[in-house]
Structure 1
Amino acid sequence: MTKQHWRPGTMIYPLPAVMVSCGSTPEDYNIITVAWTGTICSDPAMCYISLRKNRHSYNIIKESGEFVINLTTKDLAYATDWCGVKSGKDFDKFTEMKLTPGKSKEISAPIIEESPLSIECKVTKIVELGSHDMFMAEVVNVQADERYIDEKGEFSLAQAGPLVYSHGHYFELGELIGRFGYSVMKKKTKEKIKKEKEKGKK
């Protein structure tokens, strides 16, 4: 197998394409599309977003210390892209994309009602890195759309048609091929069946 050597770059794909909502008052509400985002800790629940200093949302989030990560879907693909290429200096993105600002439980920044999952965050630290600054944040509340919660209380984001970003392109996810731990569960199940059969022979 022959491989090429490229200059260092951020090639960790796919990534979630999220719409980050911010602003303490309706006059300041804005949405910025972010792919540089992820989980950094489970307990306490923490995540991050990375922004360029020249983005309109940068100072809004820096001053308020709050933001909401709104997961996106296939149906929100157009709005997700539009909110990433247009500036909040020139447009009211909620109005332009016919999105609904909803009330957060723990912070002032709005959620996006059309999102299947909204993660309310409080900034704990800003790390200056280079082209982007990382906003590390604690998750203070999560709002999930009840349409995707089954009778067992489990949330199924797959039903919403989640959107991901890969090197300049948007994709919807494909078919389920397994769940966490399935690689060892099969083995455990086979061993259990084998033991039960041997036990039955005795």
Structure 2
Amino acid sequence: MTKQDWKPGTMVYPLPAVMVSCGNTPEEYNIITISWTGTICTNPAMCYISVRPERHSYDIIKRNMEFVINITTEQLAYATDWCGVKSGKNVNKFEEMKLTAGKASVVKAPIIEESPLSVECRVKEILPLGSHHMFIAEVVNVKADERYIDPETGRFQLDKAGIMAYSHGFYYALAEKIGRFGWSVKKK
């Protein structure tokens, strides 16, 4: 097998494609689509999003120090893409995409009701890194759609929601499960 050298770039894929909601009042509510997001700590539960400072949501998040990461699905694919290419300076993304701004339990930023999972976050630190600034946040609450909670085990079944991912300019439905954590070493 031969491999080519490429210039340094962001080629760690696939990534989640999430809609981040922000704002303290309905007049300020906005949605930004982000794929540069992830978990950074278990205890306390922490995650991050990376945002360009020139994006409309950047100032809203920096001013309020809160946001919500809303997991997206195949049904939300169009809205996810649309909210990533349109600016909240010019349009109300909730209205245009017919999304419902719901009440979060801990933060003032809204959740997106149509999302199967909404992760409420409070910013702890902002790291300027170059083209993007990383918002490091503590997870202060998670709102899970009861349709995806197994009534017998209480386990959240995100795989049943039809979640999607982003990879190098394209959105993908996630494929079938091929294993589970620890399955490679499980005794038979």
TM-score bracket, normalised by the shorter chain, equals: over 0.9
- Structure 1, unaligned runs of 5 or more: 190-202
**CA–CA separation in structure 1 for the residues paired with 2:121 and 2:180:** 27
Residue ranges of structure 2 left out of the alignment (5+ in a row): none
| Shift, 1:92, TM fit | 0.3
Structure 1's consecutive aligned runs of 4 or more residues displaced over 3 angstroms after TM superposition are: none
Q: What is the distance in 2 between the residues matched to 1:30 and 1:175?
A: 33
TM-score by length of 2: 0.99
Normalised by the size of structure 1, how large is the TM-score?
0.92
Look at both structures and tell me which one has the larger radius of gyration over its CA atoms: 1
Q: Deviations over 1:85-127 (max 9, x none)?
A: 0000000000000000000111100000000000000000000
Q: How many residue pairs align between the two structures? A: 187
Q: Which amino acid aligns with 1:180?
A: F
Aligned counterpart, 1:159 = 160
Mapping of residues 28-177 of structure 1, within 5 Å: 28-151=28-151, 152-177=153-178
Identical residues among aligned pairs (%): 71
**2:124 aligns to what SS in structure 1?**
strand
Taking only aligned residues, the RMSD between alpha carbons, in angstroms, comes to 0.4
In structure 2, what is the equivalent of residue 196 of structure 1? none
Q: How much does 1:46 deviate? A: 0.1
Q: Deviations over 1:136-183 (max 9, x none)?
A: 000000000000001210011111100100000000001111111111
Tell me by how many angstroms 1:45 deviates: 0.2
Separation (CA, whole Å) in 1 of partners of 2:66 and 2:178: 36
Aligned twin of 1:25 = 25
